[in-house]
């Protein structure tokens, strides 16, 4: 079941599970213990930052991380007035509560510098901190930085990083650099909406930690940066809200009435939007409409009253009873429902070589997989049913199968008299549902015999299909 196209939209609600993302003491890793940007108690002055190790970093090793790792745990990034230029998707920031070294390390990242004055610099005001501040200024384009320390600010180090030329004005200490073999990736924010390259922020931050020998104290970032303040707030951060369960019964889809209660119903995803179709009557109902240019989603899974989706903006959950969208900030490349769990993979990971099994929504959000598979079957489009993973090329009459329990390839299923491009398919007890550009076909899931077909009357640019039955 392949899909489709809805990316990050303004107003989406972040979705977290504190229990899944917290340490053993029940507290989330980023918590409210101290003032953001200044969690260290005043202690002995460690002096100026020592010169950085000139040895190159092992970026390939640094980029490695467990599949489906949550991008948090951090509270949602609240708005910061004037930090990002107009047109930015919103500032990204977080603060760690626990001390992790002698310095207050503040990382600031901008994809593109948009100074308030044309030809000017991105201004960074530095306020007083309990521990001496180390500023790490990261840019993905040519950038001029201007530091404006308050009279009582203590700046122990300034580091510029990134692949492009940059300049720093107003630094009270010598400026060091992380570039070339010392710069591994750029990420303007930790949320999925900022991930131009999959996991780039994680790689960038890990490289900075390795270069400095301690964890950052706080991070701020914008795709289009204008001006920043260190620390960025005096207000304590709050814990992420808990995962909100969906209590609605399966079959509830806002505005679709009895269609959602037909014995077999499917969700079709196309460029123009997502629709519900009831196979008992052939009636359809629009669920969502897409704005022109909306990035596509890559896959989806329908569980009860929730439609889980994967795509460029990461993992999202659409409540079908309210059409409220939640964003758990987990990168994912593709996703499929597997009975009481999910099968998923990271972006850029060939699904025929690296599939993770997650036993439920909480495990999916926490990145806590229970099994891994390398099925070695075609998975351009895919579905799962009763412990069997089904996959196919886009244009084929051959559905390949992989037994997840026994970890072995099964004989393929050949679709009778079928010769069209598969835009998506799903497997139910009632048969294999195959979506083409103008028809929904049903085949016997044991023999591949053609059973029936439901034409739509016109071609549509579909991206995927998921179905439920009673």
Instruction: Give the CB-side neighbour count of residue 194, counting CA atoms within 13 A.
Output: 29
Instruction: Give CA–CA dist 448/265, Å, rounded.
Output: 21
Task: Report, as an integer, the average pLDDT of 38-61.
Answer: 78
Q: What is the pLDDT of residue 179?
A: 81
**Which two three-digit tokens encode residue 10?**
């303004």
Helix (H, G, I), strand (E, B) or coil at 238: coil
CA distance to 212, 245, 266, 285, 453, per residue, from 262 (Å):
60, 25, 10, 12, 17
Rg for the chain, CA atoms, rounded? 25
Most confident of 59-73, 239-253, 272-286: 272-286
**pLDDT in the model for residue 223:** 92
Q: Give the pLDDT of residue 296.
A: 59
Architecture of domain 257-469: 6 Propeller (2.120)
- Determine contact, residues 114/224, Cβ cutoff 8 Å: yes
Domain definitions of the chain by residue range: 27-230, 257-469
Is pLDDT above 60 for 10? no
pLDDT at res. 40: 41
From residue 112, alpha-carbon distances to 78, 84, 162, 187, 309 in Å are 21, 10, 12, 12, 30
For residue range 140-163, list pLDDT tens digits in order. 999 999 999 999 999 999 999 988
Beta bridge partners of 366: none
**What is the mean pLDDT of the segment spanning 185-200?**
81
Q: For 74-120, what is each residue's pLDDT tens digit? A: 777 888 888 999 988 889 999 887 767 899 999 999 999 999 887 88
Between the CA of residue 438 and those of 99, 394, 441, what are the distances in Å? Answer: 59, 15, 10
**Cα 171 to Cα 49: distance, rounded to the nearest angstrom:** 13
Element (DSSP H or E) covering residue 316: strand 316-319
Calpha distance 85→194 (Å, rounded): 15
| Neighbour-count burial for 72-111, b at 16+ CB within 10 Å, e otherwise | bbbbbbeebeebbbeebbbbbbbbbbebebbbbbbbbbbb
Residue 357 in this model has a pLDDT that exceeds 70: yes
pLDDT at 244 over 50: yes
pLDDT higher than 90, residue 54: no
The model scores a pTM over 0.75:
no
Q: Specify the higher pLDDT residue, 43 or 371.
A: 371
Phi/psi of residue 326, nearest 5 degrees = -115, 150
Whether the per-residue pLDDT at 375 is higher than 60: the answer is yes
Q: What is the DSSP letter of 141?
A: S
> What per-residue confidence (pLDDT) applies to 48?
93
pLDDT of residue 37: 41
Give residue-wise pLDDT tens across range 260-280.
999 999 999 887 788 999 999
- As a whole number, mean pLDDT of residues 167-181 equals 91
The mean pLDDT of 273-292, rounded to a whole number, is: 86
């Amino acid at each position: 079941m392949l899909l489709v196209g809805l990316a990050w939209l303004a107003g989406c609600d972040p979705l977290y599970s504190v229990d899944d993302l917290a340490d053993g003491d029940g507290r989330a890793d980023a918590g409210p213990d101290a003032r953001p940007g200044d969690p260290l108690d005043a202690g002995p002055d460690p002096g100026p930052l020592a010169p950085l190790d000139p040895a190159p970093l092992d970026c390939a090793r640094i980029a490695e991380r467990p599949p489906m790792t949550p991008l948090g745990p951090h509270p949602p990034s609240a708005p910061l007035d004037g930090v990002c230029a107009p047109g930015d998707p919103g500032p990204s920031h977080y603060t760690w509560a626990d001390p992790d070294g002698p310095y207050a390390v503040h990382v600031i990242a901008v994809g593109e510098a948009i100074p308030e004055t044309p030809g000017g610099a991105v201004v960074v005001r530095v306020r007083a901190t309990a521990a001496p501040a180390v500023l790490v200024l990261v840019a993905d384009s040519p950038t001029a930085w201007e530091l404006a320390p308050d009279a009582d600010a203590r700046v122990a180090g300034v580091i510029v990083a990134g692949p492009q030329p940059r300049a720093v004005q107003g630094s009270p200490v010598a400026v060091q650099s992380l570039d070339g073999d010392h710069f591994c990736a750029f990420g303007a924010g930790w949320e999925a909406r900022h991930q131009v390259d999959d996991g780039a922020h994680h790689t960038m931050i890990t490289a900075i930690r390795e270069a400095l020998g301690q964890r950052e104290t706080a991070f701020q970032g914008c795709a289009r940066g204008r001006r920043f303040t260190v620390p960025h707030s005096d207000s304590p951060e709050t814990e992420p809200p808990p995962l909100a369960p969906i209590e609605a019964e399966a079959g509830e889809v806002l505005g679709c009435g009895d269609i959602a209660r037909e014995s077999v119903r499917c969700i079709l995803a196309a460029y123009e939007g997502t629709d519900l179709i009831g196979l008992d009557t052939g009636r359809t109902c629009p669920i969502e409409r897409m704005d022109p240019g909306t990035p596509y989603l890559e896959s989806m899974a329908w569980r009860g009253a929730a439609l889980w989706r994967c795509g460029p903006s990461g993992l999202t959950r659409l409540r079908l009873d309210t059409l409220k969208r939640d964003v758990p900030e987990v990168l994912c490349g593709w996703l499929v429902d597997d009975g009481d769990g999910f099968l998923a993979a990271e972006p850029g990971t060939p699904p025929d070589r690296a599939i993770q099994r997650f036993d439920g929504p909480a495990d999916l959000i926490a990145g806590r997989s229970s099994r891994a598979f390398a099925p070695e079957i075609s998975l351009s489009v895919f579905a799962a049913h009763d412990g069997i993973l089904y996959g196919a090329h886009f244009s084929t009459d051959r559905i390949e199968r992989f037994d997840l329990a026994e970890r072995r390839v099964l004989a393929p299923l050949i679709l009778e008299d079928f010769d069209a491009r598969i835009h998506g398919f799903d497997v139910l007890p009632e048969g294999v549902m195959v979506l083409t550009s103008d028809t929904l076909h049903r085949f016997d899931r044991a023999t591949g015999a053609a059973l029936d077909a439901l034409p739509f009357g016109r071609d549509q640019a579909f991206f995927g299909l998921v179905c439920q039955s009673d």
